[in-house]
Amino acid sequence: MFYREVGQFKTNYTADSQVFPILQDKLGIIAMLVIAYLIIPLAGNDFFITTVMIPFLVFTLATIGLNILVGYTGQLSLGTGAFMGVGAYSCYKLTTIFPDVNIIIMVLLSGFFAAAIGILFGLPSLRIKGFYLAVTTLAAQFFLEWAFIRIPWLYNYNASGAIEVPQRDGFGGVVLAGAAAEPVTRYLVVLSIVLAMTWVASNIIRGRIGRSWMMIRDMDIAAELMGVRPLYAKLSAFAVSSFYCGVAGAMGVFFWLGAAEVESFDINHSFLFLFMAIIGGLGSLIGCYMGAAFIWILPIIIRALPGALGLDINAATVEHINFMMIGGMIIFFLIVEPHGLARLWQIAKEKLRTWPFPYS
Amino acid sequence: MKKLLMTGVAFATLAGTTFTAAPVAHAEDTMFVPSLSYRTGPFASGGTPLANGFADYFNMLNARDGGIGGVKIVVEECETGYNAQKGVECYESTKGKGALVYNPYSTGITLQLIPKAPVDKIPVLSMGYGLSAAAIGEKFPWTFTYPTSYWSQLSSILKYIDAEGGIKGKKIGFIYLDVGYGKEPIPLLEQLAKDQGFEIALFPVGVKEMQNQGSQWLNVRKERPDYMVMWGWGAMNATAVKEAAKIKYPLDKFIGNWWSGAHADLRSVGEDGKGYKSANFSGIGTSFPALQDVIKHVVDKGGSQVASKDLVGDVLYNRGLFNSVLIAEGIRAAQAKTGKKVITASDLRDGFEAFDLNEARLKELGLEGFTAPIKGSCKDHEGAGSVFIQQWNGKDWEKISDPIAPDTAVVRPLLEAAADQYLSDKPEWQTQTCG
């Protein structure tokens, strides 16, 4: 009933091949944008914006990056955390070398450094497949972690080995990065970058390049026979994926954390993003949002529940309960729907279309 | 992109309403001190006693004296797991409740909070950890490193070595956890090696290889340093002492810093660790009247989270307790200064600069001989505290030296240079000052 497209006639091919062909979808998106751009900045408190929304958006972007590689091109990668680190460290170097350039430009530029490193570590993918490729990307993870510790030039010879975000203004004196930046400002910057990059990703994926990735994923030999060059397809996937991860890493440090050590880019984060991609749904952009929300926001809600309900449970117990609940829910969701939350949503939409009178 | 691109956003909005609707759960006449604890994760063995001591002292004050100046202290724990991202989450979730001060118990989290402190006007008390340069009060008005900084501590340890038979011409091995915390004292070590004429050999231990230090100690055997100094934490400490004993390194020449000398570390090593030394700045055991009060008013009444009564008086328990003593003294000083009963975070900042924890005051608090006197001031945010050396006798720690004052003449200029470097790319920090 809710998703009936009755009466919505398409009179040309452009209208028929839109990203959101149904009116309800369009309205839904507009409602979401209103919530994201108006209601959250106006109604959300600092805690909600800085520790829920900003990291959620940053993680979503990193998951989109990983999903391009794993979900769309079928190349398993465990180096997401390190590629984010490349973005973060290069953004830090760029902005300390050129302090007057707008930080948003620097964040986007730092993606190119991550892309270059991604291509370099993507080269083995031409010969290695599946789990074996995962091992070589693991090498990238370890090598880059080592580099972030051992090359003091990367963190400007700071005694603590951490990168600390200097204050950066833009757009006529608005503080964009640094401790003095308003949470709402940072949130709007992150939101705009993530939405714009999601839009770009959806267009790349629907276009020629994205189709060649999916051909490689589904059967690389057949794709090669039909004229897809694996060298370009695989390396472009690595480049675009690392670009996204790099921008996410730079945003994470400059708009969320404010300072970072190598532990913010360690192997656990790589796993975290892989879980987000798998739980959200491989090969789905909406799934990236859902996966990031599931892994990042749900634990925060569970942690806040006892306090909100007035129960006096000590913090460590809450944390243990949290681990158990999240673990249990991951297993539950993967049993109910191995293709992730995105697929669950799709099934729900199909059900809603015929509700309350399904055909059979 | 399909419909509901931002289902997550909607989901989050729902969550957001729960947060904003949650009532602030304390009445007018209390003061709120958050405790960023870690009872889970790889460093839980250190985090648990710290959090216990921290909470128990305030609970004792509440039970015995009805709080500080008649105002009860509410301590709320937030679990960080020693993870910087979770630490920031804890900071954001508790700062709105009127937090007076933050004690992150992790250098990683401290580094994240230092830039936030002047913006939110909440002081950070990184007690003997964090950024050493924060000891320069004029440059870091919102950060305190009482009783001393890592750099001052290192100079005390080197002084101790020097007193044992001269440091000139010796080779000092430095084994450290390869993160911000462990690397922090290296610039000073390099500088002092030049000034005082000793050699250094560095042995980094990665977080992943904390419990597998075979290769580092093989290098130690090759390099044959006269002394070993350790900047370790968590599982690294016990492993290092075991490995040192295995290669027959003389343990009385092996000195850890104050995070490398806890009961939790050495109990598992036991007799093999006999002779190992470490620095400390908080008294050992329960022989102090204040500790007895904690046992009487809190532990015996079941108000503590300690697993057993024997664990009260452990090195790290007493360290957590000492942290609370510093905050309590800061609150008292702030109350005296402002004349208010319920103070704010920025009053407490002033209180930290005004308190004077001298011998007489320590005796009044029931902590005579617990630590060296500390005096707060605008200029000096490390309070000129001292460390003493303790030695493991196979079953327990024994205090074996008098308090050793840091080599301020050498350390202070280096700290100032580091502070200037930190401030160099922060124009908004140039104008702020203490007092």
DSSP assigned state of B24: P
> Residue B338: exposed, middle, or buried by beta-carbon count in 10 A (0-12, 13-18, 19+)?
middle
Of B8, B40, B422, the CB nearest to A56: B8
Q: How far apart are the first and last CA of chain A?
A: 15
Q: Nearest to residue A198, comparing CAs of A14, A62, A55? A: A62
All residues of chain B having their beta carbon less than 8 Å from the beta carbon of residue A165 are 115
Q: Which run of H or of E encompasses B243?
A: helix B235-246
Tell whether B178 is within 8 A of chain A (Cβ). yes
Residues B360, B297: Cα–Cα separation, whole Å? 24
Report in angstroms the alpha-carbon separations of B313 from B54, B104, B152, B273.
12, 22, 25, 20
Buried (b) or exposed (e) across A279-310, using 16+ Cβ within 10 A?
bbbbbbbbbbbbbbbbbbbbbbbbbbbbbeee
Q: Who's near A161: CB < 8 A, 6+ residues apart?
A: A149, A152, A155, A261, A262, B179, B180, B183
Confidence of residue B429 (pLDDT cuts 50, 70, 90): confident
**Residues B155 and B256 reside in one and the same domain:** yes
Q: Nearest to residue B294, comparing CAs of B103, B50, B57? A: B57
DSSP assigned state of B145: -
Q: Which of B5, B39, B425 to mutate to test the interface with A (most CBs of A within 10 A)?
A: B5
Give the mean pLDDT of B138-150: 89
Q: Which run of H or of E encompasses B124?
A: strand B124-125
Q: Is the peptide bond before B147 cis (omega within 30 degrees of 0)?
A: yes
- C-beta atoms of B184 and A159 within 8 A: yes
Q: Is residue A247 predicted with pLDDT exceeding 80? A: yes
Q: Is residue B3 predicted with pLDDT exceeding 60? A: no
Assigned domain for B3 exists: no
Convert the pLDDT of each residue in B231-264 to its tens digit: 998 889 999 999 999 999 999 999 999 999 999 8
Tell whether B116 is within 8 A of chain A (Cβ). yes
- C-beta atoms of B8 and A297 within 8 A: yes
Q: Which of A38, A51, A146 to mutate to test the interface with B (most CBs of B within 10 A)?
A: A51
All residues of chain B having their beta carbon less than 8 Å from the beta carbon of residue A167 are 426-428
All residues of chain B having their beta carbon less than 8 Å from the beta carbon of residue A299 are none
Assigned domain for B187 exists: yes
- C-beta atoms of A40 and B16 within 8 A: yes
Strand segments (E) across chain A: 163-164, 168-170, 174-177, 259-260
Residues B171, A174: Cα–Cα separation, whole Å? 53
Confidence of residue B9 (pLDDT cuts 50, 70, 90): very low
The region of weakest confidence among A80-94, A220-234, A243-257, B27-41 is B27-41
Convert the pLDDT of each residue in A299-342 to its tens digit: 889 888 887 888 777 778 888 888 898 889 889 988 888 899 99
Strand segments (E) across A60-207: 163-164, 168-170, 174-177
Residues A78, A70: Cα–Cα separation, whole Å? 10
DSSP assigned state of B312: T
Q: Is residue B21 predicted with pLDDT exceeding 60? A: no
All residues of chain A having their beta carbon less than 8 Å from the beta carbon of residue B85 are 55, 257, 264
Chain A CA closest to residue B96 = A47
Nearest chain A CA: its distance from B110 CA (Å): 10
- Count CB neighbours of A201 within 10 A: 23
Give the mean pLDDT of B348-372: 91
Chain A CA closest to residue B93 = A47
Radius of gyration of chain A, Cα coordinates, nearest whole angstrom: 21
CATH value at residue B291: 3.40.50.2300
All residues of chain A having their beta carbon less than 8 Å from the beta carbon of residue B24 are none
Assigned domain for B321 exists: yes
What is the count of structural domains for chain B?
Answer: 2
Of A202, A284, A319, the CB nearest to B79: A319
In chain B, % of residues over pLDDT 90: 51
> Residue B356: exposed, middle, or buried by beta-carbon count in 10 A (0-12, 13-18, 19+)?
middle
Torsion of CA A146, A149, A153, A157, to 10 degrees: -170
Report in angstroms the alpha-carbon separations of A14 from A10, A11, A19, A200, B338.
9, 9, 10, 18, 71
Tell whether B19 is within 8 A of chain A (Cβ). yes
State the pLDDT at residue A179.
81
Buried (b) or exposed (e) across A92-131, using 16+ Cβ within 10 A?
bbbbeeeeeeebbebbbbbbbbbbebbbebbebbeeeeee
Radius of gyration of chain B, Cα coordinates, nearest whole angstrom: 22
State the pLDDT at residue A98.
93
A vs B, Cβ pairs < 8 A, gives 202
Q: B254-256 and B277-280: which strand pairing?
A: parallel
Confidence of residue A18 (pLDDT cuts 50, 70, 90): confident
Tell whether B293 is within 8 A of chain A (Cβ). no
Contact B32, B26 (CB under 8 A): yes
Q: Is residue A143 predicted with pLDDT exceeding 70? A: yes
Assigned domain for B332 exists: yes
Convert the pLDDT of each residue in A84-142 to its tens digit: 999 999 999 999 999 889 999 999 999 999 999 999 999 988 888 888 999 999 999 99
Assigned domain for B1 exists: no
Residues A338, A336: Cα–Cα separation, whole Å? 7
- Count of residues for chain B? 435
- Count CB neighbours of B114 within 10 A: 24
Contact B120, B126 (CB under 8 A): no
**Residues B290 and B358 reside in one and the same domain:** yes
Both tokens assigned to A245 = 């991860």
Report in angstroms the alpha-carbon separations of A286 from A12, A282, A290, A341, B329.
26, 10, 6, 9, 53
Q: Which run of H or of E encompasses B333?
A: helix B315-338
- C-beta atoms of A318 and B79 within 8 A: yes
Q: Is residue B435 predicted with pLDDT exceeding 80? A: no
The one-letter code for the residue type at A145 is E
State the pLDDT at residue A16.
83
Of A25, A264, A314, the CB nearest to B3: A25
Chain A CA closest to residue B23 = A308
In chain B, % of residues over pLDDT 70: 93
Assigned domain for B398 exists: yes
Assigned domain for B40 exists: yes
All residues of chain A having their beta carbon less than 8 Å from the beta carbon of residue B16 are 40, 43-45, 48, 52
Domain A44-354 classification at class level: mainly alpha
Nearest chain B CA: its distance from A232 CA (Å): 25
Domain range holding B187?
Answer: 150-280+389-407
State the pLDDT at residue A222.
95
Assigned domain for B15 exists: no
Convert the pLDDT of each residue in A51-80 to its tens digit: 899 999 999 999 999 999 999 999 999 999
All residues of chain A having their beta carbon less than 8 Å from the beta carbon of residue B8 are 56, 60, 289-290, 292-293, 297
Tell whether B15 is within 8 A of chain A (Cβ). yes
Of B9, B40, B116, the CB nearest to A179: B116
- C-beta atoms of B8 and A289 within 8 A: yes
State the pLDDT at residue A1.
67
Both tokens assigned to B73 = 């202290």
- C-beta atoms of B18 and A304 within 8 A: yes
Convert the pLDDT of each residue in B53-76 to its tens digit: 999 999 999 999 999 999 999 999
State the pLDDT at residue A360.
56
Contact B101, A251 (CB under 8 A): no
Residues A342, A358: Cα–Cα separation, whole Å? 22
Q: A163-164 and A259-260: which strand pairing?
A: antiparallel
Nearest chain B CA: its distance from A126 CA (Å): 29
**Residues B88 and B188 reside in one and the same domain:** no
- C-beta atoms of B25 and A261 within 8 A: no
**Residues B161 and B258 reside in one and the same domain:** yes
Residues A49, A148: Cα–Cα separation, whole Å? 29
Contact B214, B202 (CB under 8 A): no
Chain B CA closest to residue A37 = B9
All residues of chain B having their beta carbon less than 8 Å from the beta carbon of residue A264 are 84-85
Contact A46, B96 (CB under 8 A): yes
- C-beta atoms of B88 and A159 within 8 A: no
3-state secondary structure A198-249: HHHHHHHHHCHHHHHHHHHHHCHHHHHHCCCCHHHHHHHHHHHHHHHHHHHH
- Count CB neighbours of B377 within 10 A: 16
- C-beta atoms of B8 and A290 within 8 A: yes
Confidence of residue A178 (pLDDT cuts 50, 70, 90): confident
Q: Is the peptide bond before A356 cis (omega within 30 degrees of 0)?
A: yes
ipTM of the complex: 0.82
**Residues B86 and B234 reside in one and the same domain:** no
**Residues B369 and B225 reside in one and the same domain:** no
For every residue of B75-120, DSSP letters joined together read EEEEE-TT-HHHHHHHHHHHHTTTB--B--SSHHHHHHHTTHHHHH
Convert the pLDDT of each residue in B254-292 to its tens digit: 999 999 999 988 998 989 999 999 999 999 999 999 999
